Amino acid sequence: MTRRYFGTDGIRGTVGQEPITPDFALRLGHAVGRVLKERDANPLVLIGKDTRISGYMLESALESGLISAGAGVMLLGPVPTPAVAYLTRAQRAQLGVVISASHNAYPDNGIKFFNAQGAKLPDAWEHEVEAALDQAPQWVDSAGLGRARRLDDAAGRYIEFCKSTFSHALSLRGLKIVVDAAHGAAYQIAPMVFHELGAEVTAIGCTPDGLNINDGVGATHPEALVRAVRANHADYGIALDGDADRLQMVDAHGRLFNGDELLYVLAMDRLARAGVAREAGLTGVVGTLMTNLAVEQALRGRGFDFVRAKVGDRYVLEELNQRRWLLGGEGSGHLLMLDKHTTGDGLISALQVLQACVQQQRSLAELLAEVSLCPQVLINVRTAPGADWQTNARLQAETAAVQDELGEGGRVLIRASGTEPLLRVMVEAGDAAQARRCAERLAASVA
């Protein structure tokens, strides 16, 4: 079945345009509340948000819709997406709601959901909500209305959860760390986590004004972090995105490490601590169609199985659950460690990487000495919403020609973004100039 509103990561769009409007959010909240009431007489829903100015508007509308259907609401305020997942479990709530457009700029916003276990909900649930949206509202009477309250110290509870994933036998004392929260949901939480574990912290991207989220900072603009690490003579830099579920890191030399490299570090650290991968249940790692070929080859060389999921952390999670594996992730920095959290968490991922460095007394570059990434070039081409790029004859011809040129030494991947009207063109080759030239040819054929 085709979904009208839900994409690969909830509902997302431009504020003021359907479906990111207050009237739709009211209807959505009511529809979700009705679906929950069919399973539980007194459902509780947690609502968290990032720092976008539109978050207040959507929060109020969702809250009203849920209450009008008889669902209780607990407001968390600005907290990271993975904090909502954790607190939904901790508070024994039936649903967690996140108001965020992740790495997008402030004119966009979105709404996504977690189930009672803190995991993404299946397609069937989204279809059920969309069906409820088509029905006339059924307002409950005054006695049946839900109640709303605010969770005191939501941020503090999540900080303690993050710290609990870091070894109690270790600390970050002696390390200087620059933390970039992208003026987003972790602007208060992220610096505190690393500070309380002993690090000397310099914060950038931690002064949100409602309009500057992801603006030239954060995981999607790591050049700001590279400059700050060098200027402050820091040991490491940590960049999160607007809702803090993805991570990029920088070392003292200003070298940037993406999610593919960090995933390899996490796998090797667990292998070092467990001894043998299969004896520890670490039989495999899940990447995506975008995962660098060098990382796949390195993991296989150390005894791990490796599979590629479709791009999107929900698809990585599906593969992990199906295979009962623990580790997976994307080059964008969505990293999953299912023995630590139910969803991708930029802060916990950073803590696990730093723990590996401290435990082994080796730098990130040293931990990745045997991995040399294949050059990848990714070009985003803006398209008209709903454009059928798959029937573009010129693109098909150029793709065939590029694949012939690359042979077995390279890859082409073309896919539509699940969150924006963009076509993502990726070329991987043994030579960076060739990868750039081929990617530009493909992008030009679309434009």
- Residues with a known catalytic role: 102
DSSP string, 14-72: ETTSTTSSHHHHHHHHHHHHHHHHTT-SS-EEEEEE-S-TTHHHHHHHHHHHHHHTT-E
C-beta of residue 183 within 8 angstroms of C-beta of residue 202: no
Q: Where are the alpha helices (DSSP H) in 173-278?
A: 189-196, 223-231, 259-274
Matching residue, tokens 């076509």: 423
Long-range contacts of 292-296 (CB under 8 A, 24+ apart): 292/260, 292/331, 292/373, 292/374, 292/376, 292/428, 293/374, 293/411, 293/428, 294/371, 294/372, 294/373, 294/374, 295/260, 295/261, 295/263, 295/264, 295/371, 295/373
Side-chain-facing half-sphere of 88: CA atoms under 13 Å? 28
- For 427, the 3-state DSSP assignment is strand
- Of 348, 327, 332, 447, whose CA–CA distance to 389 is shortest? 447
Beta bridge partner(s), residue 413: 426
C-beta of residue 266 within 8 angstroms of C-beta of residue 302: no
- Of 64, 60, 71, whose CA–CA distance to 35 is shortest? 71
C-beta of residue 228 within 8 angstroms of C-beta of residue 299: no
